[in-house]
């Protein structure tokens, strides 16, 4: 199963330069890297990135993240994937820009 992380341009550039990241400011504050499933991604984008541009979508295979990935209740009791270690560049299966148009963010097809 693929899970997804949204990064701002500077966060994505830093991950590419360093090879790993502790995540965005919200991740640092919470102590884990927030991910979303395909079904949760649209709501994550609208709640946390509504007016933002220059976003990158990262896809990771949940099984490859091992025991450091935990599924924990969040919005409305829905289980969200949380990574309790830095996200490494080699964890990422693929990445792409998230387009934004008059209808909101467009992620393209999700697996």
| 104 domain residue, yes or no | no
Q: Is 105 a member of any domain? A: no
pLDDT in tens, 23-42: 999 999 999 999 999 999 99
Kindly state the tokens that stand for 42: 């649209």
What does the angle CA 29 – CA 26 – CA 68 come to, to the nearest 5 degrees? 75
Cα–Cα distance measured from residue 95 to residue 12, given in angstroms and rounded to the nearest whole number? 10
Q: What is the pLDDT of residues 87-102, one digit of tens each?
A: 999 999 999 999 888 7
Number of structural domains found in the chain = 1
Domain assignment present for residue 90? The answer is: yes
């Amino acid at each position: 199963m693929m899970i997804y992380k949204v990064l701002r341009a500077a966060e994505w550039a830093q991950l590419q330069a360093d090879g790993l990241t502790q995540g965005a400011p919200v991740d640092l504050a919470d102590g884990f890297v927030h991910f979303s499933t395909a079904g949760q991604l649209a709501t994550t984008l609208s709640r946390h990135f509504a007016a933002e541009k220059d976003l990158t979508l990262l896809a990771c295979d949940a099984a490859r993240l091992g025991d450091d990935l935990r599924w924990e209740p969040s919005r409305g009791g829905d289980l969200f994937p949380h990574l309790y270690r830095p996200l490494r560049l080699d964890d990422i299966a693929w990445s792409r820009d998230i387009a934004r148009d008059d209808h909101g963010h467009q992620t393209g097809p999700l697996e």
